[in-house]
A and B are shown apart, each in its own frame.
Chain A
């Protein structure tokens, strides 16, 4: 436990900001989903680090992290199914071309 708590939090913050940039500035829907996964990872690092450093005897932090994994997996599955369905009907997954519900 040599490494100070704030170092882990800084790495998580950097990962989160990179994911945020990825979500806001990409055109392909799958690339946006990759940015979202990076943000979820950053959040998980945060949770686990706080749990480990502050209250490791209570299992709340680890249970929280396991539930975040579950939700991330479910969200990725449904999101990708949606992208594939959109690709089948519109023939593109560039988000600028599918921002209208018409057609």
Chain B
């Protein structure tokens, strides 16, 4: 018997964990003495970000997000078939980077997802959407019926290296000041064939641009550092995402005006808006809303898309049937598109009163 090849999936639940400690942009930039730094918050649209404190780290954020996701879900942990952990940072017990065993196994143990298969993936800020890309294939083949994709990012430690290194406004580490910590989790479930399901399209690695943003562990200091050629990576992202978005829309018989919310990777307000304008101009049409949710959380790496959806769900902004496009642009350079319709999930978030 041939295996089933047309299984579809959709988002069943989303969970988030944002650390409690706040760090404002003015507090952060006051430690740097370079001209024009006072406009950093205005340019990036980031007023503050949340950072880990006490016992918080990548692992605790991922676990708390997974628990939050389960509280919004109709599934119990033991019903999960697969857990994929997509964190870039794998810090456990402070800034100790864990290589083995995998984070996903430890998360499985914590939430008691007894039967779940597990593995970790790492694909820079495209991590969670790469998890969706892999899971969609497993749903398509009927291998799984439920899957949790989870990530915990403790990246605020990048500030320590950046604050010592930034000497000019064009420093390669200036982007490190945009980041914030966050954990996010999403449960995907199998849906009937007549459901539109989740559309995954155009995932591609432009590896000749892989040197434009690199993050490594420090040699002689705890934590890591990140170096970004911001202007180059922005230009390359805009040029290369145009045909991928166009193809994703065309293949699925869509036009941009049929998209209600476009959620790009959250880097900085000015780059999101300038990139979106080029995208809309080339298409001649634009989506209903462009989501920029940097103000209170900053760039939270692989968790940005699901953090944005979570926040909008809690603010009751979505309507059932709204079509959402997630546009992932990440170091590598990776570009991919996920399109889905908002479903009953909206009734489980926010305060209806």
* A and B together in one complex: no
Q: A interface vs B, CB < 8 Å?
A: none
